[in-house]
Chains A and B, each alone.
Chain A
Amino acid sequence: MNTTAIGTSEFNRVASFIWQELKPRGKWLTPFNVISIPIILLGIGILYFRFVYGIGFVTNLNQYYPLGIWIGFDVVTGVALAGGAYVITFVVYVMRMEKYHSIVRVTVLNGLLAYIFYAGALTLDLGRPWHIVNPIIGNSFGYNSVLFLVSWHFLLYMLTMALEFSPVVAEWAQLEKARKFLSGLTLGAVIFGITLSILHQSGLGALFLMAKPKIHPLWYSEFIPVMFVVSSIYAGLSMIIFEGTISHKVFRDLLAGQDHHRYEEIILGLGKGAAITMFVYYFFQALLFIHEERWELITDAWGYWYLLEVIGLVLIPCFMYAYAVRNRNLGILKVAAVLALLGIILNRLNVTVIAYRWYDVDKYYPSWQEIVVTLTVVFTEIWIFRWIVTRMPVFGKRR
């Protein structure tokens, strides 16, 4: 058999395998499917009108409120929650803490999908989405804008995470040589990815530096970029705990037996990291509070809202994490993770939407179409995540 024939035969085998894998598996009538399918279909319909009639047709955005929940939640919050990928790859491949190796694949997959969907949602928000390639192809680099840095970093980081995840795809497609080659690139990809990730987490914060007069002074500071990076660390760790808890219940049959007993140790370790990071973040906030003399700003409703975020959803979950780790209480640990995630969501929405033009009488509120499209993005990501983990060796087994 000559080389061409062998190549064709191998291609046919892989194509046939992928075709088999594309067929649906498992029950269709599940609560998640019943809720998500109508919302996704409605979201696709809304997106049709958005692209045909323009962004103003389905959103409440205008010249005064250019950033709605598609940016505030999907992009800015979504990227913070995806921070777990760079934290865990750093811990495993650079710090050599092998204890966390078993969660690398699922964490990188989560990060990759989060960037594809949440950063991809940026295209929905652009008036002329086809211009998104301009900073890359040089039609207009715009390198005096923070967005130049963010767009390049997003693109490169997505490619890096795809490279980090590629050995799993090669293993799934039974391409042993490709798997070995791709595995050899992992460490370099990880180091490159960590650098990119830290820079664009801060880059997203730097976008708001030019909006000083528009953001409430309790949320604005010159250190927004630093605060975004630090908070993305505990956001990522909390997201891994939250996602791991759900995966533990939903994909129980896929989990490799030897990992079951290590799970407690892993999430307790993550909780420890989250507690320390939140403690540092809280003191950064306190330092900014004193430095910028914000005392008189906390006596009104905005001040109470700020205290809810910083004390209720940062300091209290920090103590809860510490208590849970010390006493090995997984129940409290999971509640702390949820509170920390709520804190991150609230912080990012405060900066981008809620405390943005806080002095206006006519505030921006998202339209129902914006909320449906946001849910569509989230549910579609979960569908793809489910499809991948039930077929590829992400957890150790396949269905």
Chain B
Amino acid sequence: MEYYTYVNIFETKGLEYLLLMCFFALFIYLVRYLSGPGKKDSAPRDGSAAGGRMKGAGH
């Protein structure tokens, strides 16, 4: 299957701009979501650790 296909780079530009705008809007939302207060006061939950709380590790 030794062939090449050539892509018209202007054909999809509209959709690409739309996608980029979605990306920037969602990226701001994601960063704000990750930086939000969450459950900071509560202990981290870990189903695998005994007692539901990580016994801790570190390196």
Q: List chain A positions with a Cβ less than 8 A from chain B.
A: 102-107, 212-214, 217, 244-245, 247-248, 252, 255-256, 258-264, 266, 268, 272, 275-276, 279-280, 283, 286-287, 290-293, 322, 325-331, 334, 359, 394-396
Query: SS class of chain B's interface: helix, strand, loop or mixed?
Result: loop
CB atoms of B59 and A102 under 8 A apart: yes
The 5 A-B pairs at the shortest CB distance, nearest first, are namely A259-B58, A260-B56, A248-B57, A330-B46, A331-B47
Q: A213-B1, A326-B34 are in contact. Are A290 and B57 (CB under 8 A)?
A: no
Q: Please tell me which one of the listed residues B11, B16, B54, B59 contacts residue A106 in the complex, with CB atoms under 8 A apart.
A: B59
* A-chain residues with CB within 8 Å of residue B16 when the two chains form the complex: 287, 290-291
User: Which residue of chain B lies nearest to A331 when distances are taken between CB atoms in the complex?
Assistant: B47
CB atoms of A260 and B15 under 8 A apart: no
A-B interface pairs (CB < 8 A), number = 122
Q: A291-B9, A328-B40 are in contact. Are A262 and B34 (CB under 8 A)?
A: no
Instruction: Write 10 A-B pairs (CB below 8 A) sorted by A numbering.
Output: A213-B2, A213-B4, A259-B57, A260-B56, A260-B58, A261-B56, A291-B9, A328-B38, A328-B45, A334-B46
CA–CA, A396 to B59, complex, Å? 7
Query: SS class of chain A's interface: helix, strand, loop or mixed?
Result: helix
Q: Please tell me which one of the listed residues B23, B38, B49 contacts residue A283 in the complex, with CB atoms under 8 A apart.
A: B23
**B1-19 to A contact mask, C-beta < 8 Å, 1/0:** 1111101010110011001
Q: List chain B positions with a Cβ less than 8 A from chain A.
A: 1-5, 7, 9, 11-12, 15-16, 19-20, 23, 26-27, 30-31, 33-34, 36, 38-40, 42-49, 54-59
CB atoms of A247 and B59 under 8 A apart: yes
CB atoms of B7 and A291 under 8 A apart: yes
CB atoms of A276 and B44 under 8 A apart: no
User: Which residue of chain B lies nearest to A244 when distances are taken between CB atoms in the complex?
Assistant: B57
CB atoms of B46 and A290 under 8 A apart: no
Q: List 7 additional contacts besides A103-B58, A259-B56; criterion CB under 8 Å.
A: A248-B58, A275-B34, A276-B30, A280-B27, A283-B23, A293-B7, A329-B44
User: Which residue of chain B lies nearest to A286 when distances are taken between CB atoms in the complex?
Assistant: B19
CB atoms of B34 and A322 under 8 A apart: yes
User: Which residue of chain B lies nearest to A213 when distances are taken between CB atoms in the complex?
Assistant: B2
Q: A213-B4, A279-B27 are in contact. Are A255 and B57 (CB under 8 A)?
A: yes
